[in-house]
């Protein structure tokens, strides 16, 4: 593909509350064995984009560890590769990334040293499948300056956390309203863009000169009447996991057979770093129904409608319902957990009870240090 890829994964989402305290949003676990950034990386790899940069800042170690080898997404090659850029002190700058446009500006060397004519920009917190070649064909066909991938939202309950888009019948964007308090529109930006590389360099340099740092507000919104911005509609599954509710709902979606089949049994595939772990072990008395249980787990209790990540121990007579248990958690005997997200590494003592009433409860119980 005649494009390079950039994944914006530097932000800290306060809306994920305690879940983002020790990991970047792009490193949030999804569907038992994956991380959120795997979807953007896999889509770029499957679209034959050979050079990809991940721009990360907040809790960068969690993503750095996950991206320590590029071979899992087939970027370990002579031509191109996977690059991870964190803010660095230079002669010109000693700032953290002050926004999405600033993160691009601080890594202009990557854009300028590339030779591909186009750039695909994606966020690291989207769960979706997309062939970027089709978006690029649309971009060229429309003679667009910028193409934004959009999605019609059926559920409008959290629409105010997205940029909403209005467009003509031909797909030309006429209005972009970033995170409005109230709106009648239901088409949102997915945070995926295609733009010509030279134009991006020009717009980013101009924004930096004017001390502007946000890609949406300071480039898309400001130039919507000066540049030809078109919208490409995504009509398949897409979810953004930047709030506790959306993160919970997205993981629960993977309990539906059609969602699992779409992502994991239909070409192209979604790839992730593979851990060498034994399969889950179900001891006598264990009972699991409609759940995703990952490798390395030992189950002695009852699991219903839940997602269990890697290396989790569930004690005797314990019951887990409608919950997400993150990696390396220990659930003691006779415990009851319902409508909860249990943080990784938590130790739930025997005879504990945690129930999320009306909303998803986040449970963090640190392991005792001996």
Per-residue pLDDT of the chain (370 residues; tens, 9 = 90+): 899 999 999 777 788 888 988 888 999 999 999 999 999 999 999 999 999 999 998 888 888 999 988 999 998 777 789 999 988 777 777 777 888 898 999 899 999 999 999 999 999 999 999 999 999 999 999 999 999 999 999 888 888 889 999 999 999 999 998 888 888 889 999 999 999 999 999 999 999 999 998 898 899 989 888 999 999 999 999 999 989 999 999 999 999 999 999 999 999 999 999 989 999 999 999 999 999 999 999 999 999 999 999 999 999 999 999 999 999 999 999 999 999 999 999 999 999 999 998 889 999 987 654 4
CATH code, residues 3-264? 3.90.550.10
Say how far apart CA 35 and CA 344 lie, in whole Å: 14
Task: Say how many C-beta atoms besides its own lie within 10 A of residue 157's C-beta.
Answer: 8
The helix or strand, by DSSP H or E, that contains position 112, with its residue range, turns out to be: helix 108-113
The pLDDT value given to residue 99:
86
Domain ranges of the chain: 3-264, 281-363
Say how far apart CA 230 and CA 341 lie, in whole Å: 39
Q: How far apart are the first and last CA of the chain?
A: 53
**Per-residue CA distances from 13 to 27, 58, 99, 308 (Å):** 12, 10, 13, 23
Classify 300 in phi/psi space as left (phi over 0), alpha (psi -120 to 50) or beta. Answer: alpha
Global model pTM greater than 0.85? yes
Classify 276 in phi/psi space as left (phi over 0), alpha (psi -120 to 50) or beta. Answer: beta
What is the DSSP code string of 290-316?
S-EE-TT-EE-SEEES-EE-SS-EE-T
CB of 189 within 8 A of CB of 163? yes
Both structure tokens of 183 = 């709106």
The pLDDT value given to residue 368:
57
The pLDDT value given to residue 158:
82
The pLDDT value given to residue 370:
44
Architecture of domain 281-363 in CATH? 3 Solenoid (2.160)
**Per-residue CA distances from 125 to 8, 21, 191 (Å):** 9, 16, 9
Say how far apart CA 139 and CA 162 lie, in whole Å: 22
């Amino acid at each position: 593909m005649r494009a390079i890829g950039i994944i914006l994964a530097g932000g800290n989402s306060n809306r994920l509350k305690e879940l983002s305290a020790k990991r970047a949003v792009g490193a949030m676990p999804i569907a038992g064995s994956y991380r959120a950034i795997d979807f953007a990386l896999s889509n770029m790899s499957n679209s034959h984009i050979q050079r990809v940069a991940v721009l990360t800042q907040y809790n960068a170690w969690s993503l750095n560890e996950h991206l320590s080898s590029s071979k899992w997404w087939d970027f370990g090659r002579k031509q191109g590769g996977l690059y991870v850029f964190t803010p660095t002190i230079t002669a010109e700058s000693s700032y953290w990334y002050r926004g999405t446009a600033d993160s691009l500006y601080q890594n202009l060397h990557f854009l300028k040293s590339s030779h591909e004519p186009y750039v695909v920009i994606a966020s690291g917190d989207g769960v979706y499948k997309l062939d970027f070649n089709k978006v690029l064909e649309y971009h060229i066909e429309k003679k667009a300056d910028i193409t934004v991938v959009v999605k019609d939202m059926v559920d409008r309950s959290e629409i105010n956390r997205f940029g909403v888009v209005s467009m003509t019948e031909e797909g030309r964007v006429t209005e972009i309203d970033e995170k409005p308090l109230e709106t009648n529109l239901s088409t949102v930006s997915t945070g995926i863009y295609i733009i010509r590389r030279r134009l991006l360099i020009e717009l980013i340099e101009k924004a930096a000169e004017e001390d502007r740092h946000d890609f949406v507000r300071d480039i898309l919104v400001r130039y919507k009447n000066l540049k030809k911005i078109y919208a490409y509609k995504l009509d398949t599954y897409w979810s953004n996991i930047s709030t506790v509710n959306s993160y919970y709902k997205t993981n629960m979606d993977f309990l539906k057979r059609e969602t699992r089949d779409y992502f994991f049994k239909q070409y192209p595939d979604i790839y992730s770093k593979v851990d060498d772990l034994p399969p889950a072990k179900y001891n006598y008395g264990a009972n699991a129904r409609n759940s995703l249980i990952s490798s390395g787990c030992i189950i002695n209790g009852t699991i219903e409608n839940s997602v269990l990540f890697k290396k989790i121990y569930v004690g005797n007579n314990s019951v887990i319902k409608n919950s997400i248990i993150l990696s390396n958690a220990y659930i003691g005997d006779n415990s009851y957990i319902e409508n909860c997200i249990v943080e990784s590494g938590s130790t739930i003592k025997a005879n504990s009870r945690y129930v999320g009433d009306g909303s998803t409860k986040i449970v963090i119980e640190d392991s005792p240090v001996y």
